[in-house]
Amino acid sequence: MREVAVIGVGLTEFGELWDKSFRQLIAEAGSKAIFDSGIGAREIDALYVGSMSAGRFIGQEHVGALVADQAGFSHMHIPAIRVESACASGGLAFRQGYLSVASGINDIVVVGGIEKMTDVTGNAASDILATSMDQEWETFFGATYAGIYAMIANRHMHEYGTTREQLAQVAVKNHANGALNPYAQFKRPIELKSVLNAPMVASPLGMFDCSPLSDGAAAVVLCSMDKVKKYTDKPVKIIGSGQASDMLPLHGRDSLCTFEATVYAAKAAYKQAGIQPKDVDVAEVHDCFTIAEILAVEDLGFVKKGDGGKAIENKITTLDGQIPVNTSGGLKAKGHPVGATGVAQIAEIVFQLRNGADKRQVKDARIGLAHNIGGGGASCVVHILEAMKK
| Residues marked as catalytic | 87, 336
Amino acid at 355: N
Instruction: Return the C-alpha torsion angle 289, 26, 183, 371, nearest 10.
Output: 40
Cβ neighbours of 31 (radius 10 Å): 15
CB atoms within 10 A of CB 159: 13
In order, the DSSP letters of 13-58 are PPB--TTS-HHHHHHHHHHHHHHHHT--GGG--EEEEE-S-HHHHT
Angle at 256 between CA 323 and CA 327, to 5 degrees: 25
Residue 382's DSSP bridge partners are: 242, 371
Strands 46-50 and 80-83: parallel
Q: What is the 3-state secondary structure (H, E, C) of 373-384?
A: EECCCCEEEEEE
- Indicate the length of the chain as a whole number: 390
DSSP state of 114: E
